[in-house]
Amino acid sequence: MTKKFEYSSGNVFADLNLPNPEEALAKAELARQIYGAIKKKKLTQKQAAVVLNIDQPKVSALVSGRLAGFSLERLFRFLNELGQDVTINVKPKSRTRKKGSVIVITVDRVQTHVRN
């Protein structure tokens, strides 16, 4: 029996043909970082809600990956409230791509991105 598979583009959201895949991947990585900061500080969801100035159900949605109600800017603010710096670096795109891309690079790992 031959197993069929597809190579990933590096972005599961793009592979699934979801809208705005780069933004979705960026949000997912930022949410992962927020979850990690909450865990490192040993905060309960209720305590995290106080720090982030949101209610506990929103913390639950955030750490569960339900990110539709969260903008990138809001996720940046949450990281700041948890003691994390967020740096935005704008640079010319590579000549090998048709358009620019959004990449989230974190201290603990490098996040891949979609090449267009």
Q: How confident is the model at residue 116 (pLDDT cuts 50, 70, 90)?
A: very low
CA distance linking residue 116 with residue 51, whole number of Å: 38
Say which residues have a Cβ less than 8 Å from residue 93's Cβ, sequence separation at least 6. Answer: 99, 100, 101
Task: Tell me: pLDDT of 15 over 80.
Answer: yes
DSSP secondary structure string for all residues of 42-95: T--HHHHHHHHTS-HHHHHHHHTT--TT--HHHHHHHHHHTT--------PPPT
Considering only 41-45, 53-57, 107-111, which range has the smallest mean pLDDT? 107-111
Task: Tell me: pLDDT of 109 over 70.
Answer: no
Q: What CATH fold (topology level) applies to the domain 18-81?
A: 434 Repressor (Amino-terminal Domain) (1.10.260)
Find the mean pLDDT for residues 68-97. 92
Domain boundaries, the chain: 18-81
Residue 10: DSSP 8-state: S
The pLDDT score that the predictor gives to residue 78 is 98
Task: Tell me: pLDDT of 110 over 50.
Answer: no
- Contacts of 7-16 with CB under 8 Å at 24 or more apart are 9/114, 9/115, 10/112, 10/113, 10/114, 10/115, 11/112, 11/113, 11/114, 14/114
CA distance linking residue 48 with residue 78, whole number of Å: 10
Task: Tell me: pLDDT of 115 over 60.
Answer: no
